Amino acid sequence: MNGNETIGSVVRWQPEELRRERAKRDDLVVLDVRTADARIVHPYEIPGARWVPLAAVVSQAASLPRDVPIVTYCT
């Protein structure tokens, strides 16, 4: 059994599962939606992730791709 949890149509991955998915496909976009304060408290990052604080996601939505899966990361 894997650590995936499905809520509605949203799948929650554990970090290792995300690593495996990114290794298999290059079309995943990973958004780090943590606040600046959260990034200080938990400074780890996912290589290649794009930082867009959750409060800014709506205002930056037009710059996000619409034809590939988007994975969000928060703590």
Which domain range does residue 29 map to? 5-73
Q: Per residue, what are the HEC states of the chain? A: CCCCEEECCEEECCHHHHHHHHHHCCCCEEEECCCHHHHHHCCCCCCCCEECCHHHCCCCHHHCCCCCCEEEECC
Summarize the confidence of residues 51-75 as an average pLDDT.
92
Model pLDDT, residue 1:
41
* Number of independent structural domains in the chain: 1
What's the CATH number where 21 sits? 3.40.250.10
- pLDDT 10s digits, 6-48: 666 778 888 888 888 888 888 899 999 999 999 999 988 888 8
